[in-house]
Each structure stands twice: as structure tokens, then as C-alpha cells.
Structure 1
Amino acid sequence: MNQFRDLTGLSSFDPNEADKFKDDPLFLRSVARTIAVLSAFQSARHPLSLTQLATASGLDRSATQRIVHSLLKLGMMTRDPEDRGYLPGLRILDMAHDFIRLNPMLQRANPVMLELRRRVRERVDLSLFDDIRVVYALRMPSKHEVFSATIVGHAVPTYCTAGGIAILSRLPDEQIADIVNRSDLTPFTPYTITDLDGVMEQVRATRQRGHSVLCRQLLPHEVAMGAPITDANGAPIGAIHIAGNLQEWTAESFSDSFGPLLENAARTVSERPQPSDGRNSPAL
């Protein structure tokens, strides 16, 4: 048995998530059930049968059948061409497109990312912070790529990735410990960080340097750097990262060559602090 994880992706779906809102009179459990069925595909490797959708979503087969039927009619789900089960429908892409084009931070980031990619000529990504995972929202590949490294929406752990460590560097130590303790620490390679001490070592180095530099965490040949994107209050909301190949770069040369460009790009995309209204400003 392979002792390492693959790059399939990290699901955000929790079958019991709707229970947190059971006392909310405006919360529609029917919507939650529908999202549960759609979210079943997050960890799938192939089309899913009705039984598999029911099991993954935590619903009974009858409720799953009605939801699947409705989603098929609305174009949100489709049958596999070889009739092996169900797949997400084309209209799911409309929603992903709307998210990317309407998100203010991603609007700011697009020209910055294009210019960064032009200058570094390596893979450039932007990820969004989602607790124990980061989710890729913009991806600009290089000449060396695996398929998963080109897909928008792909998610990877926060604790062992360049973007994730950059994000963690802007959080309090106790919050970092909580995220690591709730993460699946199964390694992706023989070099993947697998404990809190290792994470904190990288966090401290990132705080001092201004950007993270990690090697061989997800892929055995990869060196990657990350710099945090922050909101107007200074809280991390995402990261920009650059990835290269260790056959062409050392960690030090990669950092020296591109670190300042990366940090400047992340600062440009970050939200500016809100200006004071002057009520607390000292008199001139």
C-alpha cells in the first residue's frame, strides 16, 4: 500500500455541516441537502452512481434520487457519456466563472498575476484561504506541469504548502496549532512536513524572510514560494505562489531571484487599510 497521499484534492464537504444551523429559522435544509449531493464529487475519481451519491452525501436513496432528478433537469448534473453514473453538469462552470469574474480581489489580481508570470516564466498561482485547506482560484502554468497543477478549484492542505505557510505566518500561533491539529498529516512525499514543530519552523522563517520557501512538499521535484494576501484589517485571505523545478533551481537561488517580485505582487493585490475618519487623529 502506498504510504503517501496523492494530489486528488482536499474536500471541504462535511455531511453534518447543516446541523450547525438547526436553530436558524431562515436556514433551508433542502438547499443544504442539494449542496451535499453536489459536494459528493469533491473526492470522486470517476462518475458516481446514485447509491454512491447517497452514501457520500449522507442522505437516503429516495431523497438523493429526487435531488439528482431535479439537478439533471436544471443542467447542474449530467449522465456520464458511457452511462457509468453521474457527473457535475455544464452549468456548474457558469458559477465558477461568476465567482472568478465578480470577486473584487481576483479582479485586482489578474493583471498583477499576468505581469508576474511574464517576468518569472514559472508557474504562478493564487490561492484562497479556507481553514485547513487553500483553494487555487487563478493558475498560470509553466512548461513543467502535472494535470492537477493546472486546475482552478483544486485544493491542497494549508499546513504543508508554500501559500498555506505564507498565510499561517500572519496568524497567531494558537490558531496555527489548531489548524495543524485538525489536518490530515499523511505526507505527499518523503519530505512533507508532518508535525506542528516542522510547520512552526517554516512559519518563523517566513515571518523573518517575508515569503515562504518550501521544497518537495507536494511533488518530489518542486520548489515553491508563497506570499500572503491580506484584507483591510491585515488578516490573511489568500496567497500568491511561484513554483519551479529543483533540477533548475536551488531553494536559495529561487528565493533570491523571485522573492521581492512575489512579495510586491502580494502587497499590490492586498486590500489597503481603511483611512481613519480623523476623530482619533492628534490635532495638528
Structure 2
Amino acid sequence: MDVPSAADDAPDALFNQSLEKGIAVLRAFSAQRRTMTLPEVAEATSITKSSAQRMIYTLEKLGYVKKHPRTKRYQLALKAMQIGFNYLAADTLIDVANPFLSELTNVTGETTNLTEPDGVDMVYVARFVCTKFLPIHMPIGSRIPMYCTASGRAYLAALPEDESRLLLEGSERVVHTQYTVTDLGEIEARLAQGRLSGYASNREELFIGDMTIAAAVVDGERRPVASVHVVAPTSRWTLAEAEQRLAPAVIDCARGISNSIRTLG
């Protein structure tokens, strides 16, 4: 057994705690906390009021945060979008995937998406929207949990089993609807099925009326790096119809993206 050394507990001399606090302040703003007072910022980030004041002042001077002139409450400024946009602009996977997603939308007649993993979530990074009604709006940058979504399960199924189990064990596995599967054994059984079929599915486990079919995008080392999924609303599709008619096209799309990114490496 490895014995932790003193160096393991030593402070990281290169780690900038002030930068950490500044990023924490930016991340504290959300749909649940659209605006905050200074004490609310301190509470949301678990830092002192004086630290929160320094962070907010600096972020405001840099243009990432602004204060309402009447209410004196702080909120994110438009410039905060620049950081996320720069990621999207620099991500070559998105450039490679876009033509394939466009073709998938043309073939299926439904909205298609590309998501990438971050922790125990998948993050929307690209989309081609169909003209038909969609029950759920998920903007680029939205996060969805891996354990109960098709894109997440497709990604997990493409990982070694020990790695996928660690991610599942690290997930809260919250019940979102009456259809949400949270049992670890049942989720892993679905992952095993996904490894055999090449795709994963989700029927109203995150949102009522929302159903998706997904397949993993893998790199040259056969490691999953993203997932492609097509939205099949329950108002237009049964799960059996979606798996029969959409899954082959989703698998082909993910395979095409995978083959293309291997040539870039």
C-alpha cells in the first residue's frame, strides 16, 4: 500500500487562490442566482465579505460583472460570454462534427446535438435544430447528468467499466421524473446493453416528453470524447420506433465524426 508522503500534503506553490476565488464568483451566478448583493456573493462562494468585495470590484473593472444602478445588485455582464465562446471557437471537434450533425438532422428530420463530458455531466457544445416543435430548450452550454441521459450513457458505455463505475458512484443520481433510473445496477445493465448495440437511449428520465438516442464519439485511442444525440419527442416517436429508425443514423454520424478526428491527430 502506498503511504502518503509529506509532499502530498504540501501547499501547491503555483496555485493562485485569488484566481480561484475570482472564478468561483463568476460561477456563482446562475439561473437560480441571476443577481446578488455583496453578502450574497460571499455566502454563495464561501469566502469572506472583504474577499468577495475585492473579487467583485476587479471583475467589474474588467467588464465581466456589472451593478444595477438602482438596486445595486450585481450580475454577469455580456463580456462573460467571451470565455465560453472562445472555447467553442477553438474546439476543432465542433468544426469536424458540424457537417455530420447537419446531415443527421436532414436524414432524421429531428434536432441533433453534440455534447462533451465535464465531470459527471455532459455539456451541449453544438446543435442543428429541426423546424418541428421541441418540448425542451437546452441552450449551448447547458449541462445534463450522465447517469440518466442517452448522451451520458453512450459516453459511459464507451469507457472502461471501472472508470464508468467511478463516475456513476460520484453522481448524485437524483430522481427527476417518475421514469428516472437511479439504481446503479440497472444503469450498468443499460450500459452493457449499449456496448453491444452501439447506442444508448433515454425516455423521459430527465424531462417529460423528451426522448433521445445517442452514440459515442471516440478518438484514435478508442477513448470517448463526446456523444452525438438526436431528440425524438414522445409526441412524435415511440422508443421502439426511435431505436429502429434513428439509432442506425446516429451510430453512423458518431462513427463518421470519430473517423474524421482520428485523421487530425
Q: TM-score, normalized by length of structure 1?
A: 0.83
Distance across 1 between alignment mates of 2:215 and 2:33 = 31
1:86 to 74, 89, 92: 74
Is residue 43 of structure 2 the alignment partner of residue 59 of structure 1?
A: no
What is the SS of the residue equivalent to 1:220? coil
Per mean C-alpha deviation after superposition, the further-off stretch among 105-114 and 185-194 is 105-114
Deviations 1:156-191 (A, max 9, x none): 111110000000111122222221221112211000
What is the SS of the residue equivalent to 1:92? helix
Is residue 117 of structure 2 the alignment partner of residue 129 of structure 1?
A: yes
Measured after TM superposition, the shift of residue 79 of structure 1 is 2.5
Structure 1 stretches of 4+ moved >4 Å: none
Contact 1:212 1:227 survives alignment (8 Å)? yes
Is residue 144 of structure 2 the alignment partner of residue 144 of structure 1?
A: no
1:249 to 237, 244, 247: 237
Distance across 2 between alignment mates of 1:21 and 1:122 = 52
**Residue of structure 1 in register with 2:149 after alignment:** 161
Measured after TM superposition, the shift of residue 216 of structure 1 is 1.1
Unpaired runs of at least 5, structure 2: 1-7
Is residue 29 of structure 2 the alignment partner of residue 41 of structure 1?
A: yes
Distance across 2 between alignment mates of 1:146 and 1:77 = 32
Distance across 1 between alignment mates of 2:247 and 2:69 = 46
Distance across 2 between alignment mates of 1:94 and 1:228 = 28
Contact 1:129 1:236 survives alignment (8 Å)? no
Distance across 2 between alignment mates of 1:31 and 1:22 = 19
Distance across 1 between alignment mates of 2:141 and 2:90 = 16
Question: What does 1:220-235 correspond to in 2, within 5 Å?
Answer: 220-235=208-223
Go from structure 1 to structure 2 and tell me whether the alpha carbon gap of 1:67 and 1:213 turns closer, same or farther (over 3 Å shift): same
Tell me how many residue pairs correspond in the alignment: 255
Deviations 1:18-72 (A, max 9, x none): xx99733222221111111111124634312211211121210111111111111
Please tell me the residue identity of whatever aligns with 1:58.
S
Go from structure 1 to structure 2 and tell me whether the alpha carbon gap of 1:249 and 1:76 turns closer, same or farther (over 3 Å shift): same
Contact 2:156 2:164 survives alignment (8 Å)? yes
Is residue 250 of structure 2 the alignment partner of residue 262 of structure 1?
A: yes
Distance across 1 between alignment mates of 2:101 and 2:52 = 41
Contact 1:211 1:263 survives alignment (8 Å)? yes
Distance across 1 between alignment mates of 2:33 and 2:18 = 26
Deviations 1:237-260 (A, max 9, x none): 110111111121111211221212
Is residue 56 of structure 2 the alignment partner of residue 95 of structure 1?
A: no
Question: What does 1:18-33 correspond to in 2, within 5 Å?
Answer: 23-33=11-21
Please tell me the residue identity of whatever aligns with 2:181.
I
Distance across 1 between alignment mates of 2:51 and 2:10 = 19
1:240 to 228, 249, 255: 228
Contact 2:149 2:201 survives alignment (8 Å)? no
Distance across 2 between alignment mates of 1:139 and 1:193 = 26
2:56 to 52, 64, 68: 68
**Residue of structure 1 in register with 2:262 after alignment:** 272
Distance across 2 between alignment mates of 1:48 and 1:139 = 32
Is residue 93 of structure 2 the alignment partner of residue 105 of structure 1?
A: yes
Contact 1:242 1:262 survives alignment (8 Å)? yes
Contact 2:135 2:210 survives alignment (8 Å)? no
Distance across 1 between alignment mates of 2:35 and 2:9 = 30
Go from structure 1 to structure 2 and tell me whether the alpha carbon gap of 1:146 and 1:73 turns closer, same or farther (over 3 Å shift): farther
Distance across 1 between alignment mates of 2:92 and 2:9 = 28
What is the SS of the residue equivalent to 1:169? helix
What is the SS of the residue equivalent to 1:139? strand
Contact 2:134 2:233 survives alignment (8 Å)? no
Please tell me the residue identity of whatever aligns with 2:134.
E
Unpaired runs of at least 5, structure 1: 1-19, 276-284
